[in-house]
Amino acid sequence: MDGGPSVTYADWERRSNAVAHGLLGRGLRVGDRVALYFGGVDWVDYAVAYLGVLKAGGTATHLNDELDKGELARRLAHAEPVGLIHGGNLKPPDVPGAWRLPVAAVETGDHTPVDVHLGPDDIADILYTSGTTGPPKPVLNPHGNLSFNQGPGSVSEEVFDSAAPVLSPTQLGTVYSAGAVGIFALTTSAPIVLCGTGDVERMAYLIAKHRAGSAMLTPWAAMRMVLTRVGDRHDLGSVTTVGVASANLPARYARALLAAMPNAKLMTAYGGGSEAVPASIRTFYDPAKPTCVGRPGPGTELRLVDADGREVAVGEVGEVVLRHGAPRRRYLTGDDAETDGWIRTGDLARVSPDGEVFFFDRGVDAIRTGDRLVSSLEVESAIYDHPGVEQVAVIGVAGEIVAVVVGDAPDLNTFLADRHRPHRTHVVADLPRGPGGKVLKNVLRNQFS
């Protein structure tokens, strides 16, 4: 942990067993929900508490101290936890009828394994979607989904160097921290260096300090690394693989990031959103095919369909529909969209004759103007080629293409020439982003409608 302690697998095993015994002593039953409330870089106690809850058969709800009071209360109302485990330096929120204890107060002196039977359909987590199209929605995550295709030889071991450290900037109490602890740390033998998501200078320092061989970055973190030129001040030459997921990384920034990390390859991953996990499509970035997201991974099936659910022809744009063999993640609210195990993602893509998937846009972000369907990402990519543009988000408003730009590009329409040009351009100081750095286009649509 950046600036804090480390933890070995042996200590993690013993302490999480002690937490599990403490929970069982409090009467926890399989399926009972326990909230985890942590902040900062308190990763050791978070990891101990999380695995303790899972070992005892509980369902973990991941929360953090950066959620505003209203959102925190909303998530606690969804979970209805029997108890809340919190970081030792945090004042826990009120949870009517539930106990609230720091990790140390839950641990017992018994470090032996617990005897709790769990099946693949038992629920491990309540996770939340990113909230880019509306309020984040709660998703139930079964144990069989969490562990599907994991273990020695899984994708983590295939992609990342098993000896060199991995940098993973992650916010505690999120779907990403649940994945970092519940999947990544348990299937990757490399040491993992965890830090916050806000300071890219610190990320670059940690890469150089630990000679990290891999780095897991959000597109927004990668963009900020380029904009602040961290490679001029820190040696990033140890990195051989950069993993980028959760959103599109503009081609201009992908090229610049690889220039700053001269020994690295860039792996991109698409999974259809939190609901479709563990389905995945991934590839190493090819500058000649910037919108290519690769081919379906092991255990993932893909179809592209039209609005009536019929498969589209090769090369045509269709909605991405995914299926996998794991127990499904399901919305706590019950509004799942699936047919015979196929999960509708709402995303649009094309498939080439040789089976490669090219991402077109999120369905809610694609712009219908006249008789054309325009990819907001393609327009953004063209605008990013202008050297004065630092950030851009393209949205559709009443059939018009609207660009919201951070930077200085008064000649933008002339620069774009015969490429897709926005009908309107607004210059702003910054773009609204969610916790993972995704642009909140729903906020921009409301603002500029």
- Give domain limits for the chain: 9-118, 155-327+336-362, 367-448
Amino acid 85: pLDDT? 98
Amino acid 187: pLDDT? 83
**Average pLDDT of each block of 10 consecutive residues along the chain (449 residues)?**
84 97 97 96 94 98 94 94 95 94 96 96 92 82 88 58 85 90 86 91 95 93 96 96 85 93 92 83 88 89 93 95 91 72 91 94 92 93 94 95 95 87 94 87 92
Q: From residue 78, how far is each of 50, 73, 81, 139, 382 by CA, in Å?
A: 19, 9, 9, 10, 42
Environment class of residue 303 by beta-carbon count within 10 Å: exposed (0-12), middle (13-18) or buried (19+)?
A: middle
Alpha-carbon span 381 to 290, nearest angstrom: 10
Query: Whole-prediction pTM value?
Result: 0.89
- Reported as a single tens digit per residue, the pLDDT across 92-103 is 999 999 999 999
Say if residues 150 and 157 touch (Cβ distance below 8 Å): no
Say if residues 81 and 34 touch (Cβ distance below 8 Å): yes
Say if residues 281 and 302 touch (Cβ distance below 8 Å): yes
Fold that domain 155-327+336-362 belongs to in CATH: Rossmann fold (3.40.50)
Amino acid 150: pLDDT? 77
Amino acid 298: pLDDT? 82
Nearest to 54 by CA among 141, 125, 139, 140: 125
Indicate the residue type of 405: V
Amino acid 208: pLDDT? 96
- Reported as a single tens digit per residue, the pLDDT across 307-353 is 999 999 999 999 999 999 889 999 898 766 566 789 889 999 999 99
Amino acid 161: pLDDT? 62
Query: Is 9-118's fold the same as 155-327+336-362's?
Result: yes
**CATH architecture assigned to 367-448:** 2-Layer Sandwich (3.30)
Amino acid 147: pLDDT? 87
Alpha-carbon span 448 to 439, nearest angstrom: 15
Q: What are phi and psi of 31, to 5 degrees?
A: 95, -15
For the segment(s) 9-118, the CATH number from 1.10.10.10, 3.40.50.1000, 3.40.50.980, 3.20.20.70 is 3.40.50.980
Say if residues 429 and 406 touch (Cβ distance below 8 Å): yes
